[in-house]
């Protein structure tokens, strides 16, 4: 381990960290532009993450969400929590 190799690794890492920071700024800008057009940023982030998620993991997630919805329906959670009207409005 020489000082030259430490310096080289540090410079490489610093460059990558700067790229990450630049990418974060770009992401915030994209989200802000979408928000200005009335797009829900929380949902946009979720679907964007799904786009890069491994298909097997995504399939597992969808199966779990499907089962969760089935359980919610079985216990009438929407009715119990007074969310029926909210769901009707969201569907429109």
| One domain for residues 62 and 19 | no
Q: Quick one: CA torsion of 46, 48, 54, 58, rounded to 10 degrees?
A: 40
Token readout for 67 is: 């089962």
- What is the tens place of the pLDDT at every residue in 24-57? 999 999 999 999 999 999 999 999 999 999 999 9
- For the question of whether the overall pTM of this predicted structure is more than 0.85, the answer is no
Question: d(Cα 20, Cα 76) in Å, to the nearest integer?
Answer: 45
- What is the tens place of the pLDDT at every residue in 55-67? 999 999 999 999 9
| One domain for residues 32 and 74 | no
Q: Is it the case that residue 87 has pLDDT exceeding 70?
A: no
| One domain for residues 63 and 81 | yes
Q: Which domain holds residue 13?
A: 1-52
Q: Is it the case that residue 84 has pLDDT exceeding 80?
A: no
CA 83 → CA 34, 35, 50, 71, distances in Å? 27, 25, 27, 16
């Amino acid at each position: 381990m020489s000082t030259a190799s430490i310096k080289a690794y540090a410079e490489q890492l610093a460059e990558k960290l700067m790229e990450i920071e630049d990418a974060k700024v770009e992401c915030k800008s994209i989200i802000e532009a979408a928000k200005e057009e009335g797009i829900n940023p929380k949902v946009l982030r979720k679907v964007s993450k799904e786009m890069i998620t491994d298909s097997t993991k995504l399939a597992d997630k969808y199966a779990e969400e499907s089962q969760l919805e089935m359980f919610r329906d079985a216990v009438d959670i929407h009715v119990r929590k007074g969310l029926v009207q909210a769901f009707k409005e969201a569907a429109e």
